[in-house]
Amino acid sequence: MIRIQNLFKRYHQQKLSDWVLRDINIEIPTNVSVGLIGKNGAGKSTLLRLIGGMDMPDRGVIETDSRISWPIGLGGGFQYAMTGRQNVKFVARIHGCEKSLDEVVQQVEQFAEIGDYFDEPLRTYSSGMRARLAFGLSLAFDFDVYLSDEATAVGDRAFREKASKAFKEKVGKSSLIIVSHSEGILKDLCEAGVWLNEGQAQWYGDINDAIADYHAQTNLMLP
């Protein structure tokens, strides 16, 4: 269960920006996968980072009794000068996992299927290869909630299949919170939805309703 109460967030750059998130109140029940939708800049990734504990809200609280992953995305979390194997070992070490280090490395290597690139520095990877590694890495740990920020978007077809299959196997044990513009993925993996609009969050018990409302507002129907 993740309970978000009266959450406000804005960024402090050179000058104070307007509120990105304004008074968000949602409760995500245990084992319910949620899709976050909204236009670019609506605050989807910000909300995901807040849930993942990477960033702090200006006001309000996020309460949880679940083990939440880091936001699995395209950019963050990897050292570009290090090889895939070294990055995996690093993450395994900071999570102090009960599995052995070799077990984690082996599992990620098998899932990612990037061959010899596993021992090459991350900077030589394509974005698809990075996504494969990031996904494989997060799956090696038993989280209750996985946060995914468009991580599946750049994978090829085979990999998308594999990723959704891996998550479907975890249904009942863990859930997902996904930011994505690919509605196929959202409908496939999520039950509930949250539509972020003008800094406000609207909860939908059915992801299809969320997508329908989002479309109605943007008047942009995607196939």
Task: Give every CB contact of residue 212 below 8 A, 6+ residues apart in sequence.
Answer: none
Q: Is 90 in the site for other proteins (CB under 8 A)?
A: yes
Per CB under 8 A, contacts with other proteins among 12-31 are 12
Stretch binding other proteins (CB under 8 A), from 17-25, 33-41, 136-144, 154-162: 136-144
Could you tell me if 172 and 30 are in contact, meaning their C-beta atoms sit under 8 angstroms apart?
Answer: no
**Hey, which residues between 38 and 67 contact other proteins (CB under 8 A)?**
52-56, 67
* Chosen residue from 86, 164, 202, 208 binding other proteins by CB under 8 A: 86
Contact between 118 and other proteins per CB under 8 A? no
Exactly one of 111, 118, 135, 143 binds other proteins (CB under 8 A); which one? 143
Q: Pick from 63, 103, 142, 206: which binds other proteins (CB under 8 A)? A: 142
Q: CA nearest 52: which of 32, 29, 76?
A: 76
Report the Cα–Cα distance between both ends of the chain, in Å, rounded.
33
Of 126 and 217, which has the nearer Cβ to other proteins? 126
> Closest Cα to residue 120, out of 84, 163, 76?
84
Q: Which is nearer to other proteins, 145 or 207 (CB)?
A: 145
Give the full edge-to-edge strand order of the sheet including 59-64.
21-28, 2-9, 59-64
**What value, to the nearest 5°, has the Cα angle with vertex 49 and ends 46 and 52?**
155
Contacts with other proteins, residue ranges (CB under 8 A)? 11-12, 52-56, 67, 70-71, 75-82, 86, 89-91, 93-98, 142-144, 173-174
